[in-house]
A = this chain, B = another copy of it.
Amino acid sequence: MQNVLQGLRIVEASAFIAAPMCGMTLAQLGADVIRFDQIGGGIDYRRWPVTERNDSIYWADLNKGKRSLAIDLKSEAGREIIVRLIALPGANGGIMLTNLPAKGWLAYENLCRHRADIIQLAIVGDRHGGTAVDYTVNAKVGFPFLTGPEDDERPVNHVLPAWDITAALLASTSLLSALRFRDQTGQGQKIDLALADVALAAVGHLGYVGDRKINGAARGRGGNYLYGAFGRDFTTADGARVMVMAISPKMWSGLLAATGLQDAMRELGGRLGLDLDQEGARYRARREIAEVLQQHIGTQALDTLAGAFDASGVCWGRYQSMADLIDHDPDCSPANPIYHVVEQPDIGTYPVPGQPMHFGAVTRHPARRAPRLGEHTDEILADLLGMSAGEIGRLHDQGLVDGPR
């Protein structure tokens, strides 16, 4: 936890990845992020991976550092409490994040009746009002036909929910932008973000639309080759897999120095009529370059190769299994200052990450664990809404709010 957003309060109504990850990011930067859920948990409360006892590791990891309020959202009284909480006065409040339907009592217009300068960011599926999730969005924008082996025509889904992550961080960027705007103008606003549009914009920002419209290019499946310069995976003599890249001139000369292939590549460039010092030429000659490189790398043990590569500043990386990464790589452990061992109630004790960026002006504290569902119900009602113990007790008695079980 790094306290650069101290004081800021965000009320979150969310499920799955994009909105929870946005809130978690802001919580790890010091904001007071209050996630409210229906008593018993929302639709992502048992999302896999779960423990043997069906407690969700997924939910814990995406809600680290937040406070949890469990409340009956079907009741008028429960909804009134949430609206009061969102609309609390002050420059640090009046901010709401959701990927649940922002309709009816949760609609921006309704919240504005209680506080005129509300900031609400609502993540939806697509701009037409349809459902869309990371996998369907990825299918729509074409990456599954660009990803995977060149000798296999089947679409390849991403396992990494890249569009959810992108949406989460566009959301945090947007909320902080809108907050600055409100600080300067006094004006709140609704911000709408469709997951499909996140991917559709990225396709343009990354040059695919321009390449097609200007060059008429239909980029095909490129296997493990990097596009536009040289890069591919190779197998060492001892069976390790490595990714080797040469984008910049420095990376290319480093690779040649490390492998001693200067003459071979000069000869190859001459034969192909290409100046391999140009990144585009390296892309055109990628298959031939890879063949020469594989002949060299295939004779080297990983350790030898790693030594030579690192000595010459080659841009390369070893493929690891996720299990190897988590079991053996110090970078994915508390040896890396972004990781701390945390005890998560109901789940256990394991290393969890904070944010990867380091802020020089504040101290990095260990990542805070996720709340238990309803863990902060009473303190939120008392401290933020000024309710008495008697009032809070009555809400419990009526089944309108709940604490941790």
A158→B155 contact, CB < 8 A: no
- Shortest Cβ-Cβ A-B pairs, 6 listed: A136-B317, A48-B228, A142-B322, A169-B169, A189-B361, A197-B356
Let me know if A266 is at the binding interface, CB within 8 A. Answer: no
The stretch from A170-178, A287-295, A387-395 touching chain B is A170-178
The number of residues on chain A lying at the interface, defined by a beta carbon within 8 Å of a beta carbon of chain B, is 161
Identical chains bound together, number: 2
Contact (A173, B180) CB under 8 Å given A58-B228, A209-B352, A324-B142: no
Query: Which residue in B49, B147, B218 is a CB contact (below 8 Å) of A228?
Result: B49
The stretch from A66-74, A76-84, A242-250 touching chain B is A242-250
A362 partner residues in chain B, CB cutoff 8 A: 181, 189
A52 partner residues in chain B, CB cutoff 8 A: 215
Residue-wise, chain A 48-74 has the 8 Å CB interface mask toward B (1 for contact) of: 111110100110111010000000000
A121 partner residues in chain B, CB cutoff 8 A: 357
A148 partner residues in chain B, CB cutoff 8 A: 147-149, 156
A200→B332 contact, CB < 8 A: yes
- Quick one: which of A339-386 are within 8 Å of B by CB? 339, 344, 347-348, 350-362
B355→A157 contact, CB < 8 A: no
Main secondary structure of the interface of A (DSSP, over half): mixed
Let me know if A161 is at the binding interface, CB within 8 A. Answer: yes
Let me know if A204 is at the binding interface, CB within 8 A. Answer: yes
Smallest CB separation, A160 vs chain B (Å): 5
The stretch from A126-134, A267-275, A296-304, A397-405 touching chain B is A126-134
Let me know if A279 is at the binding interface, CB within 8 A. Answer: yes
The stretch from A32-40, A219-227, A256-264 touching chain B is A219-227
